[in-house]
Amino acid sequence: MFSHSLKTTLAASFLLTSGTAPAMADNLGAALVGSIIGGVIVNEANKNRARKQTVTRQKTYSPARAQNRETQTALNYFGFPAGTPDGVMGRKSRSAIAQYQGHMGFPATGELTPYERDFLVSSYSRAQIGGPQVIKAMQGPTGVRGLLLTWRDEATGVRSASSGGYGGLPFEVSEAVDEIAASADPSAEQLLQRSGFMQLADLNGDGKNDYMIDTSVSGSSFWCGASHCSVMVFASTPQGYQRNDFMARGVTTASFSCHQGVCRMTDAPAAGSVQAAAPTPAPAPAPAPGATVLASTVAPAPAPAPAPAQGLAGIQLFEQPADAPTLASLTSHCSKVSLLTSSNGGYMTVADMRDPELALGEQFCLARSYAINSGEALVAKINGVTQAQVDSQCDAFGPAVQPYLAKLGSAGAEAVISDVQKFVLQSNMSIDQLANTAGICLFSGYRRDNMDVALGAALIMVGVGQRPYAELVGHHLAQGFGVVKSADKAQGWYQTAISALEAGATPAFAPGQPERVALIKAASTGLVGGLAQPVPAASTASALPTFSTD
């Protein structure tokens, strides 16, 4: 009787626990041994032995086991089945390691060398950033496994045969040429033949050629802002060429200096920069009759000199033509806002708000700081990925979101959000991966003052269901950074964020400011002199679920 009852009790206990929490079978089994058996049929000696066994089991949760789980997770991601990441490198895990080694051309021993493991895990971390390279690999014949070979060749400085180099260029440079050609009419070969597109110099003094690519020569508006275009500088390192991105115009290799793989712009004036006006030049001689005249050789008629401003005698002023677009720098803008905030004694509140645009500017710059800090924390968790690689992948993500950025000035918030959600569903990336990518690219875009990257990342955050990030899109529209300024279009985005926050959504920025929602609501309404239009109730149901990246 006693034996039968005990067997029944044990069987029931195991059935109940195995059905609800299979992942905790080991711990639960130890608990059952220590409580049921120890409390019913064994003596004190057996209980002590069970307790010692439990201690021994806890010791297996060591840094080595955590490292094994990390390895198993990476193997599973790249399609080498290692089973449940439990930290125990058994037969299945060793078989997966051998498959990985065979795929990479390493000896298939089933035991990872330190380099093989580090490369595997760092590649997994890099893949979590996402971007077009990952999406393209997912759609390829070998899936994400193809990334391992691509990044292996990248790490060793060898360009794979399938990628097709140009004239012996380093593969990093050739890939950038391909990237630019994808958004421009000329082919890559035609771009390389254009004067000024690529310039060579030893910028870091290591005896090797470094490369500068000026995208303004491509003729593609995608790579250019209002008055500056993307300039890529590739500096040689023992591990290959490291890419540095700048926004400039009329620069040469003399405009940059590099230390190893990190480059910066020098203070020397570059070609095309505004210089102090020289004395009035003598008129150009008239061309001989019948001579062919090139437009570049004809000196324009001198314009009348503007009257000097009062109080600035002796200082030459340069006025921008009325039809020339202004390049908005959010970094510079936030520096000015910070000074005004300090001189005013702190951030505006609902009670003392006297300037809605400045109040929203303060909150925009505050949100920008939070986005930079949050993204920087995400990047810090990724092993084996340089900042240049993060920036490069975020830049490459731009073409995917460009169609939605183009609609911000013409379509309402809900129409754009609906389109972005369709992109999310068709992206072949998980919600978590897209959210991580967007969070990292917000940091990358705002850190480098790249509004296309930052604004596109904000749209992705809204598209994956984190609607408080719609505030950022509203700020961009209200202040005119990265998009044509439109207070009217900004209202829908502000209201999307406000509605989500009032419904209990977790604040994305400045959670310690209790009246921040009321301030943004009042300030955004003050921009247009009326109430913001509410978001239709039906739109809430179409929002994607929100996933935390913590």
d(CA 259, CA 245): 15
The pLDDT assigned to 137 comes to: 65
The percent of residues in the chain predicted with pLDDT above 70, rounded, is: 69
The pLDDT assigned to 292 comes to: 36
Summary mean pLDDT of the chain: 73
Mean per-residue pLDDT, 118-124: 90
As given in the structure block, the two tokens for residue 220 are 């593609």
Segment of 98-102, 160-164, 324-328, 407-411 carrying the highest mean pLDDT: 98-102
d(CA 146, CA 341): 51
Mean per-residue pLDDT, 320-346: 67
Question: Whose CA is closest to 87, among 53, 113, 62?
Answer: 62
The pLDDT assigned to 322 comes to: 43
Is 523 within 8 Å of 442 (Cβ atoms)?
no
The confidence band for 504, taking pLDDT boundaries of 50, 70 and 90, is confident
The pLDDT assigned to 334 comes to: 83
d(CA 400, CA 176): 17
Mean per-residue pLDDT, 90-104: 93
pLDDT of 235 above 90: yes
d(CA 124, CA 385): 10
Tell me the longest C-alpha to C-alpha distance in the chain: 125
Helix, coil or strand: residue 284: coil
The pLDDT assigned to 120 comes to: 93
Task: Quote the strand ranges of 340-493, DSSP E.
Answer: none
d(CA 52, CA 181): 66
As given in the structure block, the two tokens for residue 358 are 């400045």
The pLDDT assigned to 36 comes to: 32
The pLDDT assigned to 136 comes to: 61
Question: Whose CA is closest to 276, among 307, 314, 311?
Answer: 314
pLDDT of 244 above 60: yes
Task: Supply φ then ψ for residue 497, to 5 degrees.
Answer: -70, -45
Mean per-residue pLDDT, 397-408: 81
Least confident of 48-52, 71-75, 278-282: 278-282
The confidence band for 347, taking pLDDT boundaries of 50, 70 and 90, is confident
Q: What is the arrangement of strands in the sheet containing 229-237, beginning at the earlier edge strand? A: 198-201, 210-214, 229-237, 240-248
SS3 content of the chain, % helix, strand, coil (to 5): 55, 5, 40
Q: How far is CA 235 from the centre of its chain?
A: 22
Mean per-residue pLDDT, 459-485: 91
CA atoms within 13 A on the CB side of 378: 26
d(CA 368, CA 447): 9
The confidence band for 130, taking pLDDT boundaries of 50, 70 and 90, is low
Task: Quote the strand ranges of 157-299, DSSP E.
Answer: 198-201, 210-214, 229-237, 240-248, 256-259, 262-265
Least confident of 44-53, 119-128, 461-470: 44-53
pLDDT of 304 above 90: no
**More confident call, 93 vs 29:** 93
d(CA 165, CA 174): 6
The pLDDT assigned to 131 comes to: 63
Is 154 within 8 Å of 165 (Cβ atoms)?
no
For the chain, state the CA radius of gyration: 30
**More confident call, 321 vs 81:** 81
Counting other chains too, the contacts that 83-89 makes at CB distance below 8 Å and 24 or more residues apart are 84/23, 87/60, 87/61
CA distances in angstroms from 459 to 94, 262, 378, 507, listed in the order given: 42, 30, 18, 16
**More confident call, 155 vs 147:** 147
The pLDDT assigned to 300 comes to: 46
pLDDT of 192 above 90: no
**More confident call, 423 vs 285:** 423
The pLDDT assigned to 359 comes to: 87
Task: Supply φ then ψ for residue 325, to 5 degrees.
Answer: -70, 150
The pLDDT assigned to 314 comes to: 40
d(CA 431, CA 437): 10
pLDDT of 323 above 90: no
d(CA 453, CA 371): 13
The confidence band for 328, taking pLDDT boundaries of 50, 70 and 90, is low
Is 253 within 8 Å of 271 (Cβ atoms)?
no
Digit-coded pLDDT (tens) for 420-463: 888 888 877 788 888 888 888 888 888 888 888 889 889 999 99
Helix axes 114-127, 63-77, angle to 10 degrees: 60
Pairing of the two strands 198-201 and 229-237: unpaired
Dihedral sign for Cα atoms in the order 549, 66, 103, 79? negative
d(CA 226, CA 260): 31
Q: What is the DSSP letter of 335?
A: H
Mean per-residue pLDDT, 77-92: 92
Q: Provide the H-helix boundaries in 60-144.
A: 63-77, 91-104, 114-127, 132-139
d(CA 176, CA 240): 14
The pLDDT assigned to 135 comes to: 67
Question: Whose CA is closest to 439, among 401, 404, 417, 466?
Answer: 466
As given in the structure block, the two tokens for residue 148 are 């391992």
Least confident of 11-15, 221-225, 359-363: 11-15
Residue 111 φ/ψ region, left for φ over 0, alpha for ψ in the -120 to 50 degree band, beta for the rest = beta
As given in the structure block, the two tokens for residue 477 are 């529209």
Mean per-residue pLDDT, 196-223: 87
Is 378 within 8 Å of 115 (Cβ atoms)?
no
Domain ranges of the chain: 2-59, 73-156, 165-265, 330-541
